[in-house]
Amino acid sequence: MGAPTSSILSEIYLQFLENTKIFDILKDKKVTGYFRYMDDILIIYNENTTDASQVLRSFNDISPSLTFTLEQEKENKLNFLDILITKTKDKISFDIYGKETTSYIIIPDDSCHPTERKLAAFRYFTNRINTYNLDQTEKQTETNVAKQIVSNNKFDTSILNRINGRKTKREQDSQKRRWAICTYCGRETRLVTKRSRTQT
């Protein structure tokens, strides 16, 4: 906690555990799907062939320094990250999930922060609306929430349209060019950049 390398080292450790132990547990317990983001894990399984409590026990036997907890679906609903997953007989639907403590307070327009930082939240909101698999009703609800955040934090109401327009332009540009980001490390980076330009 607190060290700049902590997230990198924890990710390396979790990937090590996945490749040495966790994947074997998933196969042995007949887990259908396994999805992880940082320390949040979503597993999909058939109740007729897999016992979730046994999976949890096996996970907690991996390392004494790690404790896994289990949150099961309630009323065919389960939260994973900022998504509310709802299961019905014929389909699975997705909604945006916000904790009860979520206040949607962001850096206000009249603060002295750089503009790019102030707009980061709106780029996140619009990107979430445009890329998540939401139905039209949920998209409209989230759009209304974003508009309310704009108003509460003293921004111009047209900011969402401007950000959406900018995103569309980027998507058009991405069809013409392929971009890659890498850490600058001197001569090697320049060499890779030069060769990439000549090949595209």
Is the pTM value of this prediction over 0.95? no
The residue whose two tokens read 């966790």 is 22
* pLDDT mean for each 10 residues of the chain (200 residues): 85 95 96 93 94 95 92 91 88 83 81 85 87 87 87 83 63 60 72 67
Cα pseudo-dihedral 134, 136, 138, 142, rounded to 10: 100
| Antiparallel, parallel or unpaired: β 83-87 and 77-80 | antiparallel
CA-based angle 97:103:109, to the nearest 5?
Answer: 120
For residue 21, the 8-state DSSP code is I
